[in-house]
Structure 1
Amino acid sequence: MDWHKRLTQAREAKNIKKSAFAKLVGVSAPTVTDWENGDTKMIEGNNLVKVCQVLEVSPDWLLHGTDTSKEDAQKLMPGSVPISLIEDDEEALYRVKLVQLRLQAGVTGFQTEPDNTDGGTLGLSKSWVHRKGFDPENLLAVKVKGESMEPTFYEGDTIVINLADKKLTDNGVFAVNYGGEAVVKRISRDAGQWWLMSDNSDQRKFYRRNCHGNECIIIGRVVRREGDHF
């Protein structure tokens, strides 16, 4: 058995869901998937320490299968404290659908297709949703594509869209149906017009585009990002 399988075995033995485990370790759920699927050759550094703390195993056992007790594991990592979930994952989170948007040019409505990455949902803290005043029924999660919004959003990041908020505000970030293409852009007000702006510094490649009429239909405001770029 290699370390990828031991990681899965230890996580499942503690009954920790992949999304919750990712939050405890401080990485994204796709990163955990890469670890467990064997797409990552080695886990090391702070990630290794955090994983072993959460699972209460030693680095030797995780990486090499050497049987080491919990006490020995703590000796190998002085000062470490086992980490556990404080509250039940299902009760503490809203499950927001992870989808792909299907749009048509000039059409206000849209269709969605399930995105089964990371189980097809994104867990959002109920306390956070309530504090922000959002209706969870109006929230959707989508994966970011392309480089146009770097360094704010990177390709593969997950963003949450509030479908109930379509009111344009200067410097707000919105998901937009632009000529039938789903884009995420920063909105700017200039010379009495609204413009779609990219955060990428290469403005020659990612130039601004005018937002008006049925060519530019607002889907909703981006209210949250989940990713592992710091």
Structure 2
Amino acid sequence: MQAKDFDSFFERLKEHTDISTQAQLARELGVGRAAVSLVKKKGAVPPRWILELSVRYNLDSTWLESGLGSPRPEVNAVEFADEFSRIPKVAARLSAGGGSFETGGEIEGFYAFRKDWIGGKGNPSDMVLMEVYGNSMEPELKEGDIVLLDQSRKDILAGGIYAVGVEDTVMVKRVEKRPGQVVLHSDNKDYAPIYLGGDELENVRVLGQVVWVSREYH
């Protein structure tokens, strides 16, 4: 039986790490005690916590979240490969504001998605996860959201949300293609559209389309 509640998660964590108190957990995650108390009250452990702790302590993320399988990734490798696809989360952050210069592609860790689900979105080998930074796409995307990008989807479709690189800046916007011009729209009306044309188009690259979003509630 799956056990995704906080208490079961915390017992598994204590058994296989040096974390023994909620105060230690808060320090490891860089959050306040109140955040841990709120998660315990709500029951559901944020995906980002699972990711960070599984990478830091070499634990299987599925086991840490639900208790299914074995604590160590290598023990679950065969079963995992049959049922799940591992999608990398990269260090680069998508700016939903004025622009982000954090364009590094270093892998921070992996999220597991069921193959039957993610296969309906596209080819898992084309997928990558990135974090949203800024508020220009609110309410659709909020700061701290983790979005799943399909990097094979680079043809601009009306109304689609895309990760777009402009020189060294990486942004997440609704993209409109016009003759000789690309327009980057924000959902937050406090932000004006960005019009790119002429020589500027040579520095514009569509990195992929957003096909899914994960959100933490505080």
TM beyond 0.5? yes
2:22 aligned with 1:39: no
Specify the SS of the correspondent of 2:111. strand
CA distance, structure 1, for counterparts of residue 214 and residue 37 of structure 2:
21
Return closer, same or farther for 1:35/1:95 CA change in 2, 3 Å cut-off. Answer: farther
Indicate the residue corresponding to 1:122 in structure 2. Answer: 111
Letter paired with 2:11: A
Indicate the residue corresponding to 1:3 in structure 2. Answer: none
Deviations 1:80-100 (A, max 9, x none): xxxx95965835432111113
Deviations 1:126-166 (A, max 9, x none): 2211223x111110111111111111111111111111110
Match of 2:150 among 157, 162, 169: 162
Indicate the residue corresponding to 1:54 in structure 2. Answer: none
CA deviation after TM superposition for structure 1 residue 187, in Å: 1.2
- The structure with the greater share of residues assigned to strand is 2
**After the TM superposition, which of the residue ranges 161-170 and 207-216 deviates more from structure 2?**
207-216
Match of 1:147 among 126, 129, 135: 135
Indicate the residue corresponding to 1:174 in structure 2. Answer: 162
Letter paired with 1:154: K
Larger Rg over CA atoms: 1
CA deviation after TM superposition for structure 1 residue 35, in Å: 8.8
Unaligned runs of 5+ in 1: 1-5, 16-32, 52-83, 103-109
Letter paired with 1:180: D
CA deviation after TM superposition for structure 1 residue 192, in Å: 7.2
Return closer, same or farther for 1:12/1:111 CA change in 2, 3 Å cut-off. Answer: closer
Matches within 5 A, 1:61-80: none
Letter paired with 2:41: L
2:106 aligned with 1:113: yes
Indicate the residue corresponding to 1:222 in structure 2. Answer: 210
Specify the SS of the correspondent of 1:12. helix
TM-score (norm 1): 0.57
Is the Cα contact below 8 Å between 1:7 and 1:36 reproduced in 2?
no
Is the Cα contact below 8 Å between 2:89 and 2:128 reproduced in 1?
yes
Indicate the residue corresponding to 1:100 in structure 2. Answer: 91
Return closer, same or farther for 1:47/1:9 CA change in 2, 3 Å cut-off. Answer: closer
Specify the SS of the correspondent of 2:189. coil
Equivalences, count: 162
Deviations 1:5-54 (A, max 9, x none): x7764133799xxxxxxxxxxxxxxxxx759746232625x952636xxx
CA distance, structure 2, for counterparts of residue 130 and residue 35 of structure 1:
37
Is the Cα contact below 8 Å between 1:139 and 1:163 reproduced in 2?
yes
2:41 aligned with 1:48: yes
Indicate the residue corresponding to 1:202 in structure 2. Answer: 190
Specify the SS of the correspondent of 1:144. strand
CA distance, structure 2, for counterparts of residue 169 and residue 139 of structure 1:
18
